[in-house]
Structure 1
Amino acid sequence: MEVVNLYKPFDIMYVEEDTCPMGQHRINFFELVYIVKGTGAFHNNQHTFRYEPENLFLLMPQDIQYTRIKSRTGFLFIRFNGIYLEAQRTGNTYSNLGDWARKLEFIFHNNYHFPGCILQNMDDKPIVRALVNALMLEYPREQSLRNEVVQQLVNTIITIVARNVSLLAPEKIPVSSEASNDILSYIHQNIYYPEKLRTEKLAAQFNISPNYISEYVKKLTGESIQRYVTNYKLKLVETRLQYSDMRMSEIVDELGFTDESHLNRTFKKYSGINPTEYRKKIWAENNYRPGLSG
């Protein structure tokens, strides 16, 4: 099977095809695929679904995919890898791109009903269409501040994707429960600020008694607040180990572990191996290393 790599942090490409340009292949990067025009069938891992204009799909590293085109199709591909995500996280104080990278993490760890068109809110379709048109005009140009404009357009698309993901509730949570989504979204968005995730702070945020919110979160997730927060942090650790070259000390500082020993103990209890062994294992299995194979 062909493996498609991305040899630079970020790329945008528009392609029009009458027949499928590639057979089954695996990607080593994150990819948003927007259908500008045309119809056909999209195969992603074990899923098959029809596509049509204004569909937007989110694909993950190591996804296996191929397409069957029914009518001439225009695809816009927005591709990025771990290097690009890390660059966004290290933006300056006055930039909102660090927050954008965290929106991505929220998406990656809450993709309950993927694959399929990610746009659940029909009112968002014309907005995304306008943003895509702007990207297609701006990206080929070589002019002042072109990269900044492109990043802001992509940032807005990602924010809309995050909003739509919030409409896809996990199976453990009733879809009609707005409070359920709000509480878990608040935890995800404040995972970097431990003081905001104390039971008392959560209770005050949602005007619920501390005892009740503890029981409520356990009913929603099957876990205590502390266990849910820890497990979510460990998912973020996995993301950094797989898709970035971050040092353990950097992960410790960013995610609020006491020290590297604390991270090692917690991660080993969660996955059975320590973080360094996990990174080596995943990179070896996927023939993947940030900066080399995308």
Structure 2
Amino acid sequence: MEFSSSLQQPVAALELNLDSTSVKSIKRDFYELLVCLEGNGILIKNDEELSFAASDSFFINKGDSVELKTFNNATFMCCRFSEDTKFILKDLVSKSKGKAVAPIRAKSVLNPKISCSEKDVKLLMQLHKTLLVLQSDFFLNANLMYYQLLCFLTIMERNIPLQPGQPTKGIPELSIQPIIKHIHKNLRTPELLSLSYIAKTFNLSTNSLGIFFKKEMNISVKQYILQSRMAAISKRIEQKKQSFSEIAFEFGFTDESHFYKSFKKHFGVSPSNFKKNLM
């Protein structure tokens, strides 16, 4: 059995009901949000194996190859959207003054799988049901579908966990964790990671933010951001899907030269040599 590799309209919602089987996909020309409602198995994305169970969700990029191997009967909610839709969503996000989430931020750089809370899965199910109804007349309901899709992305985004392996023992849930999550969901957007912006977002002075963060994490805010961005960038290079110029653009560097200098300063080797050492 195979996934569809093309999209018939700009936004599409569907439900996948699978038995103990393998579902493959060639590279698709759309983006996809997958949420497992029941069952378990393995999702293979671009040769990377990820186990899944109920409440796990995935952001599938345009061009990704995906294979689903289910161990028992499994049900997925799917939301698919085109490249043009992504730009429409970005425009809506830019006009929301930070209240909505851009499509690129719903996919955690360091966490390819997002486990949603039980309450949020129920909300996603309601949004998905609405999309299923609206898509019967897309041209009449297009704007409504775009906003439903933004809500879907926002709920996925708020379930992004901390960086894998990041110790959380002793960290107050209502203090440092929101700051950490803000950093990780904005690794590609440097302007949202300035000390002044973070401090304003969490109603702190820049001095208070620096002292509090260093006390809780034993590292400065700037050092933590740098380490997290470079970890995400190195993962991008390991995936061998993008050119250095594309990675530089994705992570907000002014140009490729700036990207090279920053990478070499942090790792001690150029991006090219880093990539060669992976072979």
Q: Could you list the per-position Cα deviations for residues 199-225 of structure 1 after superposition, in whole angstroms to 9, with x for gaps in the alignment?
A: 797399554672x64354346556432
Percent same amino acid at aligned positions?
14
Q: In the TM superposition, what are the counterparts of 1:4-153 in structure 2 within 5 Å?
A: 6-7=5-6, 12-15=12-15, 17=17, 19-20=19-20, 22-23=22-23, 31-35=32-36, 39-44=38-43, 46=49, 48-51=51-54, 55-60=55-60, 61=64, 65-70=68-73, 74-79=75-80, 85=86, 88-89=89-90, 94=95, 99-101=100-102, 104-105=104-105, 107-109=107-109, 111=111, 115=113, 118-120=115-117, 122-146=118-142, 148-153=143-148
- Cα RMSD (Å): 5.1
By how many angstroms is 1:227 displaced? 2.7
Partner of 1:155: 150
Mapped to 1, the partners of 2:96 and 2:197 lie a distance apart of 31
Which amino acid is the alignment partner of residue 126 of structure 2?
A
Aligned equivalents of 1:186, 1:166: Cα separation in 2: 11
Distance across 1 between alignment mates of 2:70 and 2:254: 47
Instruction: Please give the per-residue CA displacement for 1:150-170, whole angstroms capped at 9, x wherever unaligned.
Output: 221111011112222258996
The letter for the 1-side match of 2:43 is N
Indicate if the aligned counterparts of 1:14 and 1:74 stay in contact, CA closer than 8 A. Answer: no
* TM-score (norm: length of structure 2): 0.64
How many angstroms apart in 1 are the aligned matches of 2:222 and 2:105?
A: 20
CA change 1:110–1:24 in 2 (3 A) is same
Amino acid in the other structure paired with 1:197: S
User: Take 2:205 and 2:164, find their aligned partners in 1: how far apart are those partners?
Assistant: 21
1:179 equivalent in structure 2 = 175
Q: Answer whether contact 1:35 1:76 (CA < 8 A) is retained.
A: yes
Post-superposition offset of 1:115: 4.2
Q: CA deviation at 1:32?
A: 2.5
Q: In the superposition, relative to structure 1, how do residues 206 and 130 fare at CA in structure 2: closer, same or farther (>3 Å)? A: same
| Secondary structure of the structure 2 residue equivalent to 1:150 | helix
Of residues 156-165 and 195-204 in structure 1, the stretch that sits farther from structure 2 once superposed is 195-204
SS at match of 1:165: coil
| Higher RCO (CA-CA < 8 Å; seq separation 6+) | 1
Q: Deviations over 1:227-269 (max 9, x none)?
A: 33334445379769977899669929x82x4544222211344
Report the Cα offset of residue 144 of structure 1: 2.0
SS of equivalent to 2:40: strand
What TM-score does the superposition give when structure 1 sets the normalisation length?
A: 0.62
Q: CA deviation at 1:78?
A: 2.0
Q: Distance in 1 between matches of 2:58 and 2:162?
A: 15
After superposition, the Cα gap between the structure-2 partners of 1:97 and 1:86, relative to the gap in structure 1 and judged at 3 Å, is farther
Helix, strand or coil at the partner of 2:12: strand
Q: Secondary structure at the match of 1:12?
A: strand
Preserved contact between residue 245 and residue 256 of structure 2 (Cα < 8 Å): no
